[in-house]
Every structure is written in C-alpha cells, then in structure tokens.
Amino acid sequence: MNMKKFLLLLAFLPLALGAKDLIALQTGQIFEGQLLKLQPRHVVFEVQGQRYRIPLKDVSHLGYDEDAPALDDVDACLRAYNDARLRGREWHNFFGGVFFGPVTVVYDLLKTYHPMRDQRVMLLSTNKGLFSDPVYLECYSYRAKTHAALQAAGGWATWLILLRDK
C-alpha cells in the first residue's frame, strides 16, 4: 500500500468515528468503543470514556461498521516496513555511495526488492505468509528502495564532503 492509500484511509476515518468500533488485541481481549485516531505506529481508542493509546504491534484486528474501510492493508504495510528493516546492508549501500556515487543511488532506486531474495529477512521475518501479498510487496519494495537509496546518497555526500576539503 502506498502513502496515497494510507491517506485515503485516514480521510475516511471521520466517517467511522461515530460508529461503534471493535479492537482485538494480540492477547485475545476484544473491546468495543470508538476509534479516535489512527497513526502509523499506534491507535487512540476510547472505551467507556477512557482513552487508550495502543501500539499497532499489540493490535490483531480493528473492526468497524460495514461502511468503514478495513485495516488489513495498513497491517500488511506496517509488517512490510518492519521486515524491510531486517534487510541490513547499511554499510554495503553506504560504501557503494562513497565509491560509485550517483550510480549506486540510481541502481538502488531501479532495483526490484523482494523479501524472498533477502536471506536475512527469510530467516528473521515472522510474516512469511504475506510474502505473496501485493500490498505487502509494494510496501516492502518502497521501504527497501528508499532506505537503500538514502544510505547510498549519504555515502555519496560523505565522499563529496571529504573531496571538498582537499
């Protein structure tokens, strides 16, 4: 899911605010109340006048009335972002930027990233069931590309700074 879909989901949030919402936690507890705020890392949920800020990693499901949007795409995207962090290779990208400059940045932006091609993600990810989900793959690729290109750009900038001093 790209940022446009996430923003669209947030745009429909006010429609859901008047409805009774359900939140299910990883522990199995289910609460009925009102979803007040949805953010990339947490939700603000009100139950019987009490407000709770709940990390999304603790939420197994959020449910709305029929007319409100589902959060399955947001969940898959957040899991993809977390898995993209497992890739590692920060120093590879950085030194690629130092030695090859803009070529590495362009390469990282054009490369196709897939979790099954990254051994570290294959070993450490708990989301292997999502590796064929198109929303998950789009978010994973976007996050991995952005992260790799920024690291390479940082290496290139370091090279430029060091060269400028001489």
pLDDT digits (tens, 9 = 90+) for 108-152: 999 989 999 988 888 888 888 888 888 889 989 999 999 999 999
Range of the domain at 54: 3-68
Tell me: do 38 and 116 sit in the same domain.
Answer: no
Which residues, at least 6 apart from 5, have a Cβ–Cβ distance to it below 8 Å? 73
Q: What pLDDT is stored for residue 141 in this prediction?
A: 92
Work out whether the CA dihedral 50, 55, 60, 66 comes out positive or negative: positive
pLDDT above 70: percentage of residues in the chain: 78
> Does some domain include residue 73?
no
Tell me: do 63 and 88 sit in the same domain.
Answer: no
* Residue, of 76 and 141, whose pLDDT is higher: 141
* Chosen domain end from 46, 68, 90: 68
Tell me: do 141 and 101 sit in the same domain.
Answer: yes
Tell me: do 114 and 159 sit in the same domain.
Answer: yes
Lowest-confidence range among 21-30, 118-127, 154-163?
A: 21-30
CATH assignment of the domain containing 40: 2.30.30.100
Tell me: do 103 and 151 sit in the same domain.
Answer: yes
Q: What pLDDT is stored for residue 73 in this prediction?
A: 59
Q: Which of 6-10, 13-17, 144-148, 161-165 has the highest mean pLDDT?
A: 144-148
Q: Are 97 and 153 in contact (CB under 8 A)?
A: yes
> Does some domain include residue 102?
yes
Domain count, the chain: 2
